[in-house]
Structure formats: structure tokens, C-alpha cells
Structure 1
Amino acid sequence: MIQKTYLKTKDQCKVKFTMSLADAERVEIRGLNGDWDTPIQMTRKKGGIFESVLTLPRHTQHEFKYLVDGTEWRNDQEADGEAPNEYGGTNSLLVL
């Protein structure tokens, strides 16, 4: 799930990423700001909920994927869309 909160005083948007995976140990967000090499760790909450809150520039577009336990790539079903990637699959698309 993705929640967007646009800041009134700045050209930024606070984005809350939430994913429910009861059997996962670790979830990372990859690809934001075009950076696929630097993972953004999601915090594990009760009940297998993973969460991360980031501030990103307004009027931008980002491709990303979740990496679960270092082995499984997943898209966000509630993203603004999908974009084809070089591996024959798709990435989630976030439009701010």
C-alpha cells in the first residue's frame, strides 16, 4: 500500500510504503530516485507488516520494486502503474 501526503510548504511529498508479509524476515525498497544499488530497509512491525516513510520531490516519477528476504522481487499492486524493465518484467511506478 502507498499513502501520499503532499507538503504544503515544500515541493515534496511524504510517501508511506506498507507491505504485509507474515513469513518474511526482511523487505527492502529498491530503485527509488534511480538508485537500484542502495536498499531502503523497511521496518518490521507486529503481524508481519513492513513499513517505510520517505520524503520525495514533488512532480517526479520513480520506478521501484520490493526485495523480500534478498531473493524475491515484488511489485506493489497499489502503485500508480507499471513500467517495463530490462529483464522482461515490470517495475512498480510511483508518480508524485
Structure 2
Amino acid sequence: MIQKTYLKTKDQCKVKFTISMENAEKIELVGLNDDWSNPVAMGKKKGDIFECVKTLPKNSQHEFKYLVNGSEWRNDPDADGETSNEYGGTNSLLVI
């Protein structure tokens, strides 16, 4: 699930990323702001739910993926869309 909260006083949007996955020890959010080398760790909650909140600029687009247990790449089914990547697959697309 992706939840967007636009800030009235700033040109920014708080985005809450939530993903539920059984048997996952660690999930990281990768690719925001075109930064694929610095993953963002997602906090683990009860019931195999992982989440994190990032503040992103309004009127921007971001490609991202989830990296599960350091080896499995996943897209977000609730993203605004998908776009092709250079590896023959797709990335999730977030439109702010």
C-alpha cells in the first residue's frame, strides 16, 4: 500500500510505503530519487508488515523496487504504474 500526504506549507509529499510479506526477515526500498545504491530499510511491524515513510518533492516521478531478504526484487502492486528497466524487467513508478 502507498499512502500520500501532501504538505500544505511545503512543496513536498510524505509517502508511506507498506508491504506485507510472510517469511521476510528484511525488506528495503530501493531507487527513490534515482538512488539505487543506498537502500532504505523498512521497519518490521506485527503480522509480517514492513513500512517506512519518505518525504519527496511535489511534481516528481520516482522508480523503485522492494529488495526482500537481500536477494529478491519485488514491485509494488499499488504503485501508480510500472516502467521498463535496463535489465529486461520493470520498476514500480510513483507519481507525486
TM bin (shorter chain): over 0.9
Aligned residues: 96
The code of the aligned residue for 1:60 comes to S
- 1:62 correspondence with 2:58: no
TM-score, length-scaled by structure 2: 0.99
SS at match of 2:47: helix
| Cα shift at 1:22 | 2.1
Report what 2:25 is aligned to: 25
| Cα shift at 1:31 | 0.4
The code of the aligned residue for 2:28 comes to E
SS at match of 1:47: coil
Gaps of 5+ in 1: none
Report what 1:89 is aligned to: 89
Per-residue deviation, residues 50-83 of structure 1 (Å, max 9, x unmatched): 0001110000000000000001000000100001
Per-residue deviation, residues 19-56 of structure 1 (Å, max 9, x unmatched): 00121000000000000000000000001000001110
Q: Which runs of 4+ in 1 moved over 6 A?
A: none
Report what 1:2 is aligned to: 2
Within 2, Cα distance between the matches of 1:47 and 1:3?
19
Residue identity (%): 71
Within 2, Cα distance between the matches of 1:51 and 1:57?
20
SS at match of 2:94: strand
Gaps of 5+ in 2: none
